[in-house]
Structure 1
């Protein structure tokens, strides 16, 4: 195993997943852990006017992503507890499940580790969870941690 993709959203479950990925990384030593945060940007952010020009929001997207993503990445890296040279961070923008699966495919990761949000069975049937979507579409094994 060479690459583990740790998907994080800063939740308690994703921090539990980070600790698990950290244990795997420590045991395997030569493995690289990629910490991926996906910024789910509302569709309104992509708005265009009647001439096809992008509408500029009050807060630029990169600033908004930095404000939300950086603290989450710091907290996740701390929970990992691995040496700096073993960890890589990545930020993507889009629908979380799709971005996680696409990134895993592109980087040819060996394992995806992520937290479960613990949705109730009825709510999960209606909306579906990110972890469920990743589990069913990932190109590699997926470890879901509660």
Structure 2
């Protein structure tokens, strides 16, 4: 495993997925990580107002700071962060393919509406659009003892 893409929205399920990502980075010392935050784009435009744009940029900066200085600080030099606008499931799938990711990791219940299969709508969309393997971490998941 060389490249991991971790899509996060800073939700509780993403917090648990972060723990799994940490375990993967420990297990594969040469793997790099891209932390991806996607702002949903409405009607082909960026957020409706400068205020919402500012909030989204602030959220990304918080995630970037936590990723580099808290969550994955011991993996310095192996972690990068990116903020993208668009339809989250499609953007996550496209970014993973374009970056040559070996695995996408994301939480199973985020801030979106749940679908009938009880995964989050974004994780459900990624499962069906990605050409890269996807690991959906459910809200009550435990980090495995071995990978």
Number of paired residues? 135
The answer (yes or no) to whether the contact 2:9–2:110 under 8 Å persists in 1 is no
Q: Please say which structure displays the higher CA radius of gyration.
A: 1
Partner SS state of residue 59, structure 1:
helix
Deviation at 1:60, TM superposition (A): 7.8
Deviation at 1:58, TM superposition (A): 4.2
The answer (yes or no) to whether the contact 1:18–1:76 under 8 Å persists in 2 is no
Q: Deviations over 1:96-144 (max 9, x none)?
A: 101100101111100000001079xxx5139x71101101221111111
The answer (yes or no) to whether the contact 1:14–1:114 under 8 Å persists in 2 is yes
The answer (yes or no) to whether the contact 1:10–1:75 under 8 Å persists in 2 is no
Unpaired segments ≥5 residues, structure 1: 48-55
Residues 40 and 22 of structure 1: is their aligned pair in 2 closer, same or farther, counting only changes over 3 Å? same
TM-score, normalised to structure 2's length? 0.77
Deviation at 1:71, TM superposition (A): 1.5
Unpaired segments ≥5 residues, structure 2: 139-147
Q: Deviations over 1:21-64 (max 9, x none)?
A: 111111111000100000114449559xxxxxxxx944383x34
Residues 137 and 20 of structure 1: is their aligned pair in 2 closer, same or farther, counting only changes over 3 Å? same
Partner SS state of residue 10, structure 1:
coil
Matched residue, 1:25: 25
C-alpha separation in 1, matches of 2:75 and 2:21: 13
TM-score, normalised to structure 1's length? 0.78
Partner SS state of residue 124, structure 1:
coil
Structure with a larger share of its residues in helix: 1
Name the Cα RMSD after superposition. 2.9
The answer (yes or no) to whether the contact 1:34–1:87 under 8 Å persists in 2 is yes
Q: Deviations over 1:56-90 (max 9, x none)?
A: 944383x3432221123333442345422110101
Matched residue, 2:60: 69
